[in-house]
């Protein structure tokens, strides 16, 4: 873009959001060019600049957002929405330049409504801040992803995020009542005043998971819950994963624990040993159950009886409590995988009759084709019908190509293989990290002709294709 | 870039980590992605790798208040303040400091303080009384809220303690904040230590000076022979000894924990005990080490709108918990909370609270 035109657009954007909320400074461009996507981090680590936006704008509400959209549509320049930048799939990276719309000024907490049990807030609110707002009134959001402190309400909605107590309280798409969205043409819309209706398809669910390709979520009503009277933990060691799956499926037909996390033998022997201290061979499983004490007593009996039937060794509550205390420690630098290692989480979800098959197929594919990679996995977020695999590959520094182009090649080859194996065995492209830039190419392989539904919605809402290009395979 | 290996290590750890962004009072006030420990580290790492220039990140470096919330929150124990302070020295020595920072340094050179002010003549009678106990109030209080200084002296007098206001009220805190560990900062520290050493005991009023004397002076081998005691510790002892007679009532007071006390000096209890001696502690959700900074007078000179927002955010915290009377431990937080107080809310320094209950 020539600097004359760029300056003209800049002044229009400044007019829309205020001069101080519009930047073309290098520090702002650099800061918004690297998210939690491994490739963007690797690129920066090697001293290369990632693609940068031309303008960084921070609107304060839907009205200002709408003005930005109108400018972008007129000049046909891309708009990439950035919440916290904590996404792992490169979804917030402005790969085509243009406008980077940072939502964090839309962080107002409008209301903690304890009659209907929701918080109404701007979509740029950091999730931890709405948790604080709930806590101040004696409630909780029960959405506890490891990125609780990093990411925004809008980011979790846009990515279909999930937290550690999801088995009882649900995923983010279960936790939202209503949303305000600014469409690519600048129209401001509200989804229906309540979910679970029969007034056509659920508009919420069209925008949840759309990763900034269909509009900008500017406000949301997010559910809050009573703090449980008790929350108890119990650690178990299964001799293999098959018995753990059978035991867990049976428990889930009777009640819903809040936390359910089963670690494969490799992750039990590595991360769990290091952080929680379990040193026996087998598959470690951590369960939490919570709520009103009398009910929890009954749940505990069901859990212990069922797991004993499948030969689980009861490790008591100590490991589980330690895990709860340390649950985010894993994500700080120096604890988990970090550069210069190459790593990735290829989470997928499937019904019980496919989940084990997917695990073994992915493990075999990765280990056979990339012997330099370690493969570890755990299974969290369980339902009556199936669960999620959080499987990771890790390649140590010595095997990661120094040349960033070669490193990208290896990285993408591993992802192609892992995700294709999941799809071939009945899994989906992703469970809760989204698709972003990283996996866009695999969406058509997943959906086949069904992809035209997404493409049709995209085309009608965003005919100029300005919203987050090259993301979600759109 | 001439920074230590330790600073480089912290930069490389923080540059891709988002875990402490929620607690940064500046980032929460501005909503700007660059106001995070990770963004500052990413910028610095790009400078180290030759992918951008120091001048491009210099303004952002000065947008950090050094409040230590990120450090306190970090499970791995990284301390972004370390690289921030080293970067400031680099920025100043390389002549790429923002104009407004250069302006403050120049004012300091001309007048001896960054505010370019003269101390209030209302304090004249408090200097050089020849006592053994010195009072060090620091430059924030001296040049911005002399009335607080008078209150301290008044309160101490009620306990029979006569203090001598030190002539030198420059601990080096302002230079430390603006330039990091430069020769000039150390020279100010040495001059201050010499002034302190003329007394047996010095009561230090501002937590930022107290922290510098307790931590950095030691690190820089600046010797302080006088006994240094914080105003809170001194007052609590007077109360416990019965020298300061206070009345216990049922009024609720909410402590605005000062970040230097709770994070750097590990003291969450002294002020709470003082409050408990006259009333009831009513807490905010973010308290103790988790406190939210509520004001910064040096930054208020160059980013007043943001600092105002920082203070307003703290009032939101207070109001959400129905806290209406805030008790401050530092002049900076006193001034800014007072300037932004919503209707019906009140700000008191610890001394003012005690004077109300004598
Ligand atoms: C340490 C760490 C741990 C993590 N653990 C978890 C976890 O336990 N569970 C989990 O689900 N995720 C986890 N993640 C991933 C990440 O936090 C989520 O994907 C989160 O949803 C990203 O939110 P964000 O605000 O950071 O979004 P960003 O990264 O800024 O953006 C993500 C995508 O959403 C779009 N977007 C953002 N805001 C809006 C909006 N208001 N309207 C429209 N589109 C928008 C962006 O364009 C982009 O495509 C983790 C990430 C980190 C860094
Ligand atoms: S201080 Fe700790 S939590 Fe904050 S960015 Fe650095 S490593 Fe992450
Ligand atoms: S020291 Fe305080 S102001 Fe600076 S980055 Fe950390 S939290 Fe933010």
Interval B40-87: pLDDT, tens:
999 999 999 999 999 999 999 999 999 999 999 999 999 999 999 999
Question: Is residue A128 within 8 Å of B73, Cβ to Cβ?
Answer: no
Residue A275 has pLDDT above 80, yes or no: no
Using the structure block, give the residue that is written with the tokens 């992918």: B51
As a whole number, mean pLDDT of residues B293-321 equals 98
Would you state the CATH architecture of domain A3-102?
2-Layer Sandwich (3.30)
As a whole number, mean pLDDT of residues A444-454 equals 97
Give the pLDDT score at A269.
Answer: 83
Give the pLDDT score at B1.
Answer: 86
Which of residues A254 and A322 earns the better pLDDT score?
Answer: A254
Measured CA to CA, the distance from residue A164 to residue A171 in angstroms comes to 9
Residue nearest to atom 6 of ligand 2 (CA): B14
The model's confidence at residue A326, banded by pLDDT at 50, 70 and 90, is confident
As a whole number, mean pLDDT of residues A409-428 equals 98
The distance of A126 to chain B (nearest Cα, Å) reads 7
Residue B132 has pLDDT above 80, yes or no: yes
The model's confidence at residue B128, banded by pLDDT at 50, 70 and 90, is confident
As a whole number, mean pLDDT of residues A13-35 equals 98
pTM over 0.95: yes
Atom of ligand 2 nearest to the CA of B37: 5
Give the pLDDT score at A265.
Answer: 87
3-class DSSP state for residue A11?
helix
Give the pLDDT score at A334.
Answer: 82
Give the pLDDT score at B175.
Answer: 98
**CA nearest A342: which of A272, A412, A273?**
A412
Q: Do B76 and A31 touch (CB under 8 A)?
A: no
Residue A12 has pLDDT above 80, yes or no: yes
pLDDT digits (tens, 9 = 90+) for A392-404: 999 999 999 999 9
Most distant pair of Cα atoms in chain A: their distance: 74
Please give the angle made by the CA atoms of B4, B7 and B10, to the nearest 5 degrees.
150
Residue A263 has pLDDT above 80, yes or no: yes
pLDDT digits (tens, 9 = 90+) for A98-156: 999 999 999 999 999 999 999 999 999 999 999 999 999 999 999 999 999 999 999 99
Q: Do B76 and A105 touch (CB under 8 A)?
A: no
Give the pLDDT score at A335.
Answer: 76
Please give the angle made by the CA atoms of A287, A289 and A293, to the nearest 5 degrees.
150
Give the pLDDT score at B223.
Answer: 96
For ligand 1, mutation pick of A151, A217, A474 (most atoms within 8 Å of CB): A151
Domain A342-459 adopts which CATH fold? GMP Synthetase; Chain A, domain 3 (3.30.300)
Give the pLDDT score at A277.
Answer: 78
Residue A350 has pLDDT above 80, yes or no: yes
Give the pLDDT score at B85.
Answer: 98
Question: Is residue A461 within 8 Å of A215, Cβ to Cβ?
Answer: yes
Residue A285 has pLDDT above 90, yes or no: yes
On average, the pLDDT of chain A sits at 96
As a whole number, mean pLDDT of residues B234-257 equals 98
Q: Tell me what percent of the residues of chain B surpass a pLDDT of 70.
A: 100
Please state, as a whole number, how many other Cβ atoms lie within 10 Å of the Cβ of residue A194.
Answer: 11
Q: Does CATH place domain B121-236 in 3.40.50?
A: yes
Give the pLDDT score at A268.
Answer: 84
**CA nearest B267: which of B214, B313, B315, B312?**
B214
Which tokens go with B35? 């106001």
**CA nearest B3: which of B84, B93, B96, B86?**
B86
**CA nearest B337: which of B357, B321, B318, B355?**
B318
ipTM for this prediction? 0.95
Q: Does CATH place domain A109-226 in 3.30.2270.10?
A: no
Give the pLDDT score at A241.
Answer: 93
Q: Ligand 1 within 6 A of A431 CB?
A: no
Segments making up each domain of chain A, as ranges? 3-102, 109-226, 230-331, 342-459
Q: Do B34 and A31 touch (CB under 8 A)?
A: yes
For the CA of A99, the nearest ligand:
1
Give the pLDDT score at A216.
Answer: 98
The model's confidence at residue A238, banded by pLDDT at 50, 70 and 90, is very high
As a whole number, mean pLDDT of residues A317-321 equals 90
The distance of A328 to chain B (nearest Cα, Å) reads 9
Give the pLDDT score at A271.
Answer: 73
- Give ligand 3 pocket residues (Cβ under 6 A): B 23-26, 37, 64-70, 80-81
pLDDT digits (tens, 9 = 90+) for A89-98: 999 999 999 9
pLDDT digits (tens, 9 = 90+) for A211-231: 999 999 999 999 999 999 999
As a whole number, mean pLDDT of residues B10-37 equals 97
The model's confidence at residue A329, banded by pLDDT at 50, 70 and 90, is confident
Compare all CA atoms of chain A with the CA of B20 and give the residue at the minimum distance: A149
Would you state the CATH architecture of domain A230-331?
2-Layer Sandwich (3.30)
Domain B5-97 adopts which CATH fold? Fumarate Reductase Iron-sulfur Protein; Chain B, domain 2 (1.10.1060)
Give the pLDDT score at A351.
Answer: 97
Q: Which of A333-347, B13-27, B306-320 has the lowest mean pLDDT?
A: A333-347
Give the pLDDT score at A270.
Answer: 78
Which of residues A80 and A266 earns the better pLDDT score?
Answer: A80
Residue A280 has pLDDT above 80, yes or no: yes
**A118: Cβ contacts below 8 Å, ≥ 6 apart:** A177, A221, A222, A223, A224
Instruction: Tell me how far the alpha carbon of residue A85 lies from the centroid of ligand 1, in angstroms.
Output: 6
Query: Phi, psi (5° rounding) for residue A216?
Result: -115, 125
């Amino acid at each position: 873009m020539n600097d004359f035109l760029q300056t003209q657009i800049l002044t229009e954007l400044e007019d829309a959001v205020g001069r101080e909320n519009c930047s073309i400074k290098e520090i702002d461009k650099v800061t918004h060019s690297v998210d939690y996507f491994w490739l963007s981090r690797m690129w920066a680590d090697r001293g290369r600049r990632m693609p940068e936006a031309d303008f960084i704008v921070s609107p304060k509400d839907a009205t200002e957002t709408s003005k930005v959209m109108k400018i972008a549509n007129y000049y046909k320049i891309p708009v990439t929405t950035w919440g916290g930048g904590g996404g792992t799939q490169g979804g917030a990276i402005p790969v085509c330049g243009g406008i980077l719309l940072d939502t964090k000024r839309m962080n107002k907490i409008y209301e903690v409504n304890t009659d209907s049990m929701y918080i109404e807030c701007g979509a740029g609110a950091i999730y931890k801040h709405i948790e604080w707002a709930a806590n101040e009134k004696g409630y909780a959001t029960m959405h506890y992803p490891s990125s609780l402190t990093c990411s925004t309400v809008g980011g979790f909605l846009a990515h279909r995020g999930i937290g550690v107590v999801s088995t009882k309280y649900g995923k983010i798409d279960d936790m939202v009542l209503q949303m305000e969205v600014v469409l690519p043409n600048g129209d401001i819309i509200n989804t229906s005043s309540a979910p679970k209706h029969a007034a056509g398809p659920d508009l919420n669910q069209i925008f949840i998971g759309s990763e900034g390709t269909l509009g900008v979520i500017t406000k949301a009503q997010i559910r809050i819950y009573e703090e449980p009277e008790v929350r108890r933990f119990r650690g178990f060691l299964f001799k293999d994963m098959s018995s753990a799956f059978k035991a867990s499926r049976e428990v889930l037909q009777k009640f819903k624990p809040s936390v359910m996390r089963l670690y494969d033998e490799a992750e039990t022997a590595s991360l769990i040993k290091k952080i929680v201290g379990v040193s026996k061979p087998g598959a470690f499983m951590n369960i939490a159950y919570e709520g009103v004490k009398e009910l929890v007593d009954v749940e505990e009996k069901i859990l212990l009886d069922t797991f004993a039937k499948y030969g689980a060794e009861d490790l008591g509550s100590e490991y589980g409590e330690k895990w709860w205390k340390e649950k985010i420690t894993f994500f700080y630098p120096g604890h988990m995988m970090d550069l210069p290692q190459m790593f990735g989480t290829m989470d997928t979800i499937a019904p019980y009759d496919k989940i084990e098959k997917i695990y073994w197929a992915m493990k075999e594919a990765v280990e056979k084709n990339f012997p330099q990679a370690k493969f570890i996995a755990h299974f969290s977020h369980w339902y009556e019908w199936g669960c999620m695999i959080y499987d990771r590959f890790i390649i140590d520094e010595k095997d990661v190509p120094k040349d960033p182009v070669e490193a990208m090649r290896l990285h993408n080859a591993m992802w192609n293989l892992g995700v294709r194996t999941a799809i071939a065995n009945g899994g989906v492209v992703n469970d809760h990290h989204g698709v972003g830039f990283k996996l866009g190419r695999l969406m058509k392989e997943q959906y086949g002709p069904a992809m035209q539904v997404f493409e049709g919605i995209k085309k009608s809402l965003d005919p100029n294709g300005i919203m987050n290009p090259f993301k979600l395979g759109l | 870039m001439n920074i230590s290996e330790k600073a480089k290590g912290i930069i490389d750890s923080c540059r891709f980590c988002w875990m402490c962004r929620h607690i940064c009072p500046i980032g929460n006030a501005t909503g700007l992605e660059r106001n995070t420990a990770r963004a500052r580290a990413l910028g610095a790492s790009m400078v180290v790798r030759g992918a951008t220039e120091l001048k491009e990140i210099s303004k952002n470096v000065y947008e950090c208040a050094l409040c230590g919330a990120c450090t306190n929150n970090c499970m791995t124990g990284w301390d972004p303040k370390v690289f921030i302070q080293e970067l400031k020295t680099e920025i100043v020595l390389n002549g790429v400091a923002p104009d407004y920072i250069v302006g403050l340094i120049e004012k300091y050179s001309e007048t001896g303080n960054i505010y370019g002010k003269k101390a209030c003549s209302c304090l004249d009678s408090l200097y050089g009384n020849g006592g053994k106990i010195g009072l060090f109030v620091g430059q924030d209080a001296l040049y911005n809220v002399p009335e607080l200084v008078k209150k301290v002296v008044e309160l101490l007098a009620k306990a029979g303690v006569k203090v001598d206001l030190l002539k030198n009220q420059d601990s080096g805190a302002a230079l430390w904040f603006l330039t990091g560990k430069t020769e000039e900062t150390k020279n100010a520290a040495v001059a201050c230590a010499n002034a302190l050493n003329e007394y047996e005991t010095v009561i230090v009023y501002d937590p930022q000076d107290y922290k510098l004397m307790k931590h950095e002076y030691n690190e820089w081998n600046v010797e302080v022979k006088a006994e240094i005691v914080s105003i809170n510790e001194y007052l609590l002892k007077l109360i416990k000894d019965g020298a300061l007679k206070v009345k216990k009532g049922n009024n609720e007071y909410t402590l605005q924990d000062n970040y230097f006390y709770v994070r750097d000096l590990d003291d969450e209890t002294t002020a709470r005990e003082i409050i408990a001696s006259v009333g009831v502690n009513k807490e905010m959700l973010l308290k103790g080490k988790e406190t939210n900074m509520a004001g910064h007078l040096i930054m208020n000179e160059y980013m007043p709108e943001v600092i105002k927002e920082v203070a307003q955010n703290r009032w939101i915290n207070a109001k959400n918990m129905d806290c209406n009377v805030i008790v401050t431990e530092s002049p900076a937080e006193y001034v800014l909370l007072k300037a932004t107080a919503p209707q019906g809310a009140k700000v008191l320094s610890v001394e003012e609270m005690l004077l109300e209950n004598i």
